[in-house]
Chain A
Amino acid sequence: MSVYLLCLVLFCVGLYCILRKRNVIKIIVGVVIAEYAVNLFLALVAYRFEGRAPIFSPDQKILNMVDALPQALVLTAIVISLATTALLVGIAMRIYEKYGTFDITKIKELKG
């Protein structure tokens, strides 16, 4: 149970960064940390005590494997998170090129 709570604390650090910081790059860093926390939570749910990795070997019979389904879901989510992070970085670099700053409070021209 306390492992889940530590994972939630990690998610909350990312959430605090998204809500509180004014710098666009800092907001992207918060999004990345929150993604790590969610991936870690799904992998923690799949773990089983005394379990083996879900790969068969030719000479021995393995019965106690960990849950393979959340691992398969996380595997696609990791690559998608990289692509969305790159999209955020592209938008942030465009903002810097147009306004000369990363600070979202100084970008008054975004209004209207």
Chain B
Amino acid sequence: MKFPISITILLCRFARFLLRRLGRGGTNVPGTLALKLRPDILKTLSKDVTIVLVTGTNGKTTITRMIEQCFREAGFSYFTNRSGANMDTGIAAEFVVNSTVRGKCQYPYALIECDELAFRKVSRYANVKYVVVSNIFRDQLDRYGEITHTLTGIFDGIHNIPDATVCLNADCSLSTSLHERLPNKVIFYGLNCPLYKDRVKEVSDAPYCIHCGKAYRYDYVTYGHLGKYFCENCGYRRPEPAVAVEEILSMDADSTTVRLKFPDGEHKVKINLPGGYNVYNAAAAAAVGTAMGLSDETVTAALEHFECGFGRMEKVTINDTDVRMILVKNPAGANQVLSFLYNIEDPAVFVVGLNDRYADGTDISWIWDADFEKLVSMGDRLHRVVVTGIRADEMAMRFKYAGLDPQKIDIIRDYSELLRSVTKEHIPVFIMPTYTAMLSIRELMSREYHIKEFWK
């Protein structure tokens, strides 16, 4: 006999209530409990709900927030997993919280950010209608083993839901290979133009054709292995995207303006978030908007209005100083952040917070694959470099080998002292933390500077 759904829901809610009373924002304990009692709980709770799910290596949170803004503009009634609780346990907990005790979801729409490997577990039971795959890069290989495991995980996830519409990044040769093996309806999105004049030095995660093993050729590369690729040998090539950025009109420290093509026309859009990689995130959000039948105007308004999420270029003010926090976790993502920082015009203070807990990835060797040399080459605009986190020493050494004078590298382990020190000259600060370093810094900001807690 199955464990009764009502009691499962009540127990989970109680666990969550207790955790919050203890001042902890965790969602994993209630979710683990729910899945233990009822492994198929998502099947019941997601009945009659239209689920939009975002997965892939980089950009999940930002794409989710952009789609959320589309939902707001469209007046949808929805719930979403907010605090980076994107494993099957966190997602189960969110469904529990947003359902009645009888197991009926209170919202017609659910917007879910989902970890690449948790995806197949979630889609096994949950009734997912739309899937967005951001891209596939090398990420935390200590956990995923190899990039092909990520690809297989996403394939399995989509394989569970043949009726779902899938939005794929046309410029990612790994993602597009999914299309040929699945019966799903696919909408491609991508960039019909290069992204930067001056790219960082980086390695490609997929230099060879996934079908025949011959090196790809490119009409242009946007970043990493993304771009207009083709294989001379077997003819595998980038598909034509239905939703595409046709031109980058301008880029600055706060936004990027682009010409965005939808199936029925073009719009000039100001994406309210800086950084070239966010142009991809915007195209992904536009693709799912199109798939859902939202008007172009709703989508473009959303991209212009939305505010960024947890640790993704989040801006706060401390001691009258702008402090931006940008999560880094793998070389492709870090290189995108470094490209953005390289283009800022005024001097700034740069902080890297390197932790090596499980959620960060226990292998920190990716810092050697990220082009920190680019940051060092900023000259006078590199006002100061501070490193923090469990593996601060290693990061300091990385900066030394990137060519920075060791005298100019400060190690400050105490976050309280760190925030005080980096804001004392009132020069803009960019903090690049790994995941758990971000949680700790965020917690301290809320405690000492009363910046709101992230799960509220």
Is B truly associated with A?
no
Residues on B close to A: CB < 8 A?
none
Residues on A close to B: CB < 8 A?
none
